[in-house]
Amino acid sequence: MSITSIYARLQPSEVWRHFAALNGIPRPSRHEAAARAYICAVAQQCGAIADEDAFGNLVVRVPASPHRETAPVVAIQAHLDMVCEKRPDVEHDFVTDPIRARIEGERVYASGTTLGADNGIGAALALATLTSSGLEHGPLELIFTVEEEIGLNGANALDPTLIRARQMINLDSEDPEELTVGCAGGSGAVFRIPITREQAPTGWQVLRVGVSGLNGGHSGVQIHEPLANAIKLLVTALDVLQEAGIPYRIGTLAGGNAHNAIPRDAAATIAIPAERRSEAESLISRLDARLKAEWLEAEPGLQVTASPLPAAESVLPAEMGAVVMDLLRALPHGVLRLSEVFPGKVETSANLATVRTEEAALVVAASTRSFVVAELDRLQRELQEIGSRAGAELVPRPVYPAWEPNRDSELLRVAERVYREVAGHPAQVQVIHAGLECGIIAAKLPGMEAVSFGPLIRGAHTPEEYVDIPSVEATWLLLTALLAALSG
């Protein structure tokens, strides 16, 4: 079955047609060229103008519908790239392979990979305003940014001279009950610890200690949920060996795949005295049983295993391994503070995201988020102190600003009214503990008002990502009704 035929009966047909096309176009961050080419081709077919800035962001200018030419210009914004996560047993090259979508009930999933509904559905909704007939709207500017998932790089580099609009609808939200009017800012760091290697002690056994089967999740939107961090659990497993007096030397460490995803898998190769292999395997087996009981409801697929491997060629010296473990223990993960302004919302959080051993260095990435600039600064200082103790070179991640809520926004007033008319009940006006591009773009364009909404998407940044089919149509109805209201 072709990608397009999967969506053939879904409504609105133009939205799903464009989403099907994007499913077929590999688009990891920094590889958005083919998606850009698709959008430019659609724009050309419709007689619209597409302008590209020096960084690769696109702005497509959509003429107003008849008798709406004098209405204010409205921007519709989405990003083209997607987080690329897959299950360990799935063969998939995100640079060359299309997404294999499937429908289960009223949900669209991929087959063992991220779906890219974040933010492919947003991009498809924007494109559908260009190719759908009979809509009422003023002049539109469709803004398609790149490299959002690796630091909002496209938004940071966006050429503001391409944009005339001072009202912007962002389509990168994931809860259809909400109108989002603010988001957390973010930062973080990459640590590089220089390492040396030595021969493993003679007669020692190599084990692979692994943590797998976790759900993972979005490191902002889902950081408050009971989701285990595979790297932290791997540290727990190695600490169990240490507490039992079993000496070990680290060969390799690997865990996590993206700075904005809670790691689902992690593994270490270690060398231990051969005569203590059975004891070590028994300890890991007991830990597996204990953690499965603790995480029974939240992480039903959790597994902690120890399995023998051929002899290691080299390992880290004991002192260096201890420094590495101290770093991984010290790095914060999870909710650090709840908001006093927005009850129930996370204010500040951290994600221990990835770890890798390279030939000459151990590389660890951590990300941080907060609505409060001072908290981001404090966390950055904390990361610097932790890295300094480990002798690590610290490369800060670029800071992106929080999007400050503006409850006096005229755009929000109209959006609330239209939402009530379309949905039959009031919207929840909320902020989100994740990075949206609205704050960055608004800072470039004085007077810009923004609001964000979108369909129901769950499991973003994981292979369990899905989009709810009926909510896509509901989002389309809200978007088109809002465009009509803003042009009237």
CATH topology of domain 187-396: Alpha-Beta Plaits (3.30.70)
Within 10 angstroms of residue 424's Cβ, the number of other Cβ atoms is 7
Q: How far apart are CA 53 and CA 58, in angstroms?
A: 7
Q: What is the pLDDT of residues 409-425, one digit of tens each?
A: 999 999 999 999 999 99
pLDDT score recorded for residue 462 = 92
Domain range list for the chain = 3-184+402-487, 187-396
pLDDT score recorded for residue 17 = 97
Q: What is the pLDDT of residues 348-372, one digit of tens each?
A: 999 999 999 998 999 999 999 999 9
pLDDT averaged over the chain?
95
Secondary structure class of 68 (helix, strand, coil):
coil
**Checking DSSP bridges between strand 334-338 and strand 266-273, what pairing results, if any?**
unpaired
Instruction: Find the mean pLDDT for residues 244-254.
Output: 97
pLDDT score recorded for residue 93 = 97
Q: Which two tokens stand for residue 81?
A: 């790239």
pLDDT score recorded for residue 404 = 87
How far separated are the first and last CA of the chain, in Å rounded?
Answer: 43
DSSP secondary structure of 294-357: HTTTT-TT-EEEEEEESPPS-B--HHHHHHHHHHHHHS--EEEEE-SSSTTSEEEEEEEEEEEE
CA 353 to each of CA 188, 325, 376: distance values in angstroms, whole numbers, following the listed order: 10, 15, 17
Active-site positions? 81, 148
Instruction: Find the mean pLDDT for residues 307-312.
Output: 88
pLDDT score recorded for residue 410 = 96
pLDDT score recorded for residue 2 = 60
Confidence of residue 3 (pLDDT cuts 50, 70, 90): low
pLDDT(1) > 60: no
Instruction: Find the mean pLDDT for residues 53-62.
Output: 98
Architecture of the domain whose range is 3-184+402-487: 3-Layer(aba) Sandwich (3.40)
pLDDT(4) > 90: no
Q: What is the pLDDT of residues 420-477, one digit of tens each?
A: 999 999 999 999 998 899 999 999 999 999 999 999 999 999 999 999 999 999 999 9
Q: pTM above 0.75? A: yes
Confidence of residue 290 (pLDDT cuts 50, 70, 90): very high
Q: Is the dihedral of CA 279, 281, 283, 285 positive or negative?
A: negative
Give the residue carrying structure tokens 């949905």.
Answer: 423
pLDDT score recorded for residue 292 = 98
pLDDT(488) > 60: yes
Instruction: Find the mean pLDDT for residues 265-293.
Output: 97
180, burial (CB in 10 Å: exposed 0-12, middle 13-18, buried 19+): buried
